[in-house]
């Protein structure tokens, strides 16, 4: 409430200064002949425009005429007559008189031809303005009217302070209540069991909104109070009227602009409503495809969601382009300049972003990757978690999540271990080399047994298989290929760990060392499989070979490991 003493001090100062206000106004008007240029000059009394001179008269320029006219009016008002303003026609033009004495002369050249003004209309306007100015000069000398104006100003100030106090009290109460309401609404608004908006931020936003509205109301009340107080005193009445006219003109322009823009806004609204209706109409089709209830030749379940987003973006962009000419201010220079700036920013800084987006679209619609598939991209391998517009995220079996730019994925070789597997499984493979003195059938049987023991590996359809991929100088290279079960797609690293552990166990059980021999000289004995051991356990002789075709397949006893047959590798 410290504002109250300052306001009353200002009002009392205005009272004591208002007595000589008329003399001060006359001296100020005599010192400055209003807004004068080489073409025209304005005669003012108490800051109120009386007449405009646009042509010289009797060899005097418009500015000199305005200066002399203001001096003459000041002398006439100093006489203290009744202040009756009249006008009469003379050969030089229309003459305005104060108590029968010459105050000013308006000629035909002083008329504003652009606004189609007439000399008589300009004269009548000058008479009315001069009458009003004389009344204000007298009011400035009337102590009773000044006291009445002071009383009205004090009452307006009291009402203003009461209104401001009420707004501040209501602001605190409404800010707390609105904050609590938005906080409760934020707690109830959830998507996938996750809050859409933090409750604390909702509370802060509600408080900020109410406080902003309160400060706006205080500003409007202050402005209206100032306009009312200024209009009570003759010395400041013109300024108050100008401030009031400014607000009215602003509101009038805003209202007229809104009315003019209303038809265009209706057209733009109809365009946006049609776009929204089209998107809602297409939504059930994409929902059925995404849920697997329907399929088309050009759209499958994986592409339903990104395709729906692209179609929605395309429809909204088309709607914006169609509604752009109908938006208010779209034809203004500021709007055009902003459009050019945004286009330049996109051109200079969006090339990489656009390239990433197109790369993502290529990956989606070429079906190189799909979420849930196990892939190898360069040095990274893992399960595809998300195939986005700009990046792709894969999760490795070691607890890592790798984010790869889509443009880099297109530039590398991608190995997909899940595409040939039914369901959500993937392919497992491991490679090892065994010396030539170990029967290859035995190695294959050991690897297949290890695959059968591994949980999460399919036993059939397709069954595990072993491929001899190379015959190197010192060993045979074997590759075990098997499929993970789609019903239990564990992390690939866990299944590979179990498979390797079983490979080690089965090789140890059958006494076969997993070591690739290297030689610096020829061994004493040739590293070949003996004639009696081509089907060493756990390998089984086919029933179609020899006499064994008539009976069950024979299991060859386990050949004990021989260090002589497997000399240690040279350092």
Handedness of CA 542, 544, 548, 549 (dihedral sign): positive
Residue 48 pairs with which residues in a beta bridge? 45
Nearest to 82 by CA among 8, 5, 21, 138: 138
Q: What are the residues whose beta carbons fall under 8 Å from the beta carbon of 533, sequence distance 6 or more? A: 439, 556, 559
pLDDT digits (tens, 9 = 90+) for 321-353: 888 888 877 777 777 787 788 777 777 766 677
CB-count burial class (<10 Å; 0-12, 13-18, 19+) for 447: buried
pLDDT digits (tens, 9 = 90+) for 66-120: 888 888 887 887 777 777 888 888 887 888 888 778 888 888 888 887 788 888 8
Q: What are the residues whose beta carbons fall under 8 Å from the beta carbon of 21, sequence distance 6 or more? A: 140, 233, 234, 235
Q: What are the residues whose beta carbons fall under 8 Å from the beta carbon of 461, sequence distance 6 or more? A: none
Q: What are the residues whose beta carbons fall under 8 Å from the beta carbon of 178, sequence distance 6 or more? A: 206, 207, 209, 210
Query: Dihedral (C-alpha) 42, 43, 45, 46: value to the nearest 10 degrees?
Result: 20
| Predicted TM-score of the model (pTM) | 0.44
Residue 392 pairs with which residues in a beta bridge? 387, 404
pLDDT of the residue at 449: 92
pLDDT digits (tens, 9 = 90+) for 168-226: 888 888 888 887 887 777 777 665 566 666 777 777 888 888 888 889 888 888 888 88
CB atoms within 10 A of CB 363: 21
Report the run of H or E that residue 429 belongs to, with start and end: strand 427-435
- Among all chains, which residue has been given the structure tokens 């949980």? 455
Low-confidence stretches of the chain (pLDDT < 70) are 1-38, 189-197, 293-302, 349-351, 397-399, 420-424, 486-490, 522, 531-532, 544-571
pLDDT of the residue at 477: 93
SS (H, E, C) 29-74: HHHCCCCECCCCEEEEECCEEEEEECCCECCECHHHHHHHHHHHHH
Residue 430 pairs with which residues in a beta bridge? 480
pLDDT of the residue at 193: 63
Give the strands of the sheet with 401-405, arranged side by side. 401-405, 391-395, 380-387, 374-377, 414-416
- Range list of β-strands (E), 164-322: 190-191, 194-195
Nearest to 566 by CA among 524, 506, 505: 524
User: Whole-angstrom Cα distance, residue 271 to residue 320?
Assistant: 8
User: Whole-angstrom Cα distance, residue 365 to residue 415?
Assistant: 18
pLDDT of the residue at 412: 82
Q: Taking a C-beta distance cutoff of 8 angstroms, is the pair 175, 211 a contact?
A: yes
Q: What's the longest Cα–Cα distance across the chain?
A: 153
pLDDT of the residue at 446: 92
User: Whole-angstrom Cα distance, residue 433 to residue 422?
Assistant: 30
Q: Across all residues in the chain, what is the average pLDDT?
A: 77
Nearest to 445 by CA among 437, 456, 453, 436: 453
């Amino acid at each position: 409430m410290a504002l109250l003493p300052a306001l009353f001090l200002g009002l009392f100062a205005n009272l004591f200064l208002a007595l000589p206000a008329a003399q001060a106004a006359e001296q100020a008007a005599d010192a400055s002949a209003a807004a004068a240029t080489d073409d025209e000059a304005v005669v003012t009394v108490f800051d109120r425009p009386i007449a405009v001179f646009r042509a010289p008269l009797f060899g005097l320029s418009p500015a000199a005429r305005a200066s002399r006219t203001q001096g003459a009016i000041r002398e006439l008002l100093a006489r203290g007559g009744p202040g009756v303003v009249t006008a009469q026609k003379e050969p030089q033009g229309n003459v305005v008189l104060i108590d029968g004495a010459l105050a000013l002369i308006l000629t035909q050249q002083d008329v504003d031809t652009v606004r189609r003004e007439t000399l008589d209309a300009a004269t009548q306007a000058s008479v009315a303005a001069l009458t009003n100015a004389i009344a204000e000069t007298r009011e400035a000398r009337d102590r009773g009217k000044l006291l009445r104006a002071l009383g009205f100003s004090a009452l307006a100030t009291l009402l203003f302070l009461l209104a401001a106090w009420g707004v501040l009290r209501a602001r605190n109460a409404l800010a707390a209540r609105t904050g609590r309401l938005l906080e409760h609404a934020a707690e109830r608004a959830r998507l996938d069991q996750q809050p859409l908006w933090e409750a604390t931020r909702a509370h802060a936003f509600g408080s900020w909104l109410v406080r902003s509205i309160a400060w706006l109301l205080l500003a409007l009340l202050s402005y209206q109070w100032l306009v009312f107080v200024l209009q009570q005193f003759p010395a400041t009445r013109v300024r108050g009227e100008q401030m009031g006219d400014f607000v009215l003109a602003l509101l009038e322009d805003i209202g007229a602009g809104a009315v003019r823009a209303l038809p265009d806004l209706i057209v733009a609204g109809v365009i946006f409503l049609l776009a929204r209706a089209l998107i809602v109409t297409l939504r059930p089709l994409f929902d059925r495809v995404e849920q697997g209830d329907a399929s088309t030749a050009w759209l499958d379940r994986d592409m339903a969601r990104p395709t729906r987003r692209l179609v929605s973006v395309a429809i909204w962009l088309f709607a914006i382009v169609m509604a752009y000419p109908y938006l208010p201010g779209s034809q203004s220079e500021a709007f055009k300049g902003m459009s050019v700036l945004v286009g330049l920013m996109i051109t200079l800084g969006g090339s990489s972003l656009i390239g990433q987006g197109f790369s993502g679209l290529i990956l989606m619609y070429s079906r190189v990757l799909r979420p849930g598939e196990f892939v190898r991209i360069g040095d990274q391998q893992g399960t595809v978690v998300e195939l986005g517009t700009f990046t792709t995220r894969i999760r490795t079996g070691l607890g890592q999540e790798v984010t790869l730019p889509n443009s880099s994925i297109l530039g590398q070789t991608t190995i997909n271990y899940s595409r040939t597997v039914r369901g959500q499984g993937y392919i497992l493979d491991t490679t090892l080399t065994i010396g030539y003195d170990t029967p290859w059938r035995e190695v294959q049987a050991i690897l297949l047994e290890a695959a059968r023991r591994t949980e999460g590996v399919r036993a059939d359809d397709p069954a595990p298989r072993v491929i001899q991929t190379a015959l190197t100088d010192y060993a045979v290279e074997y590759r075990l290929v098997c499929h993970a079960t789609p019903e239990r797609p564990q992390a690939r690293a866990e299944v590979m760990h179990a498979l390797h552990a079983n490979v080690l166990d089965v090789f140890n059980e059958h006494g076969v060392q997993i070591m690739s021999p290297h030689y610096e000289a020829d061994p004493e004995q040739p590293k070949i499989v003996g004639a009696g051991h081509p089907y060493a356990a756990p390998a089984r002789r086919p029933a179609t070979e020899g006499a064994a075709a008539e009976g069950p397949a024979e299991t060859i006893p386990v050949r004990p490991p021989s260090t002589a047959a497997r000399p240690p590798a040279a350092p």
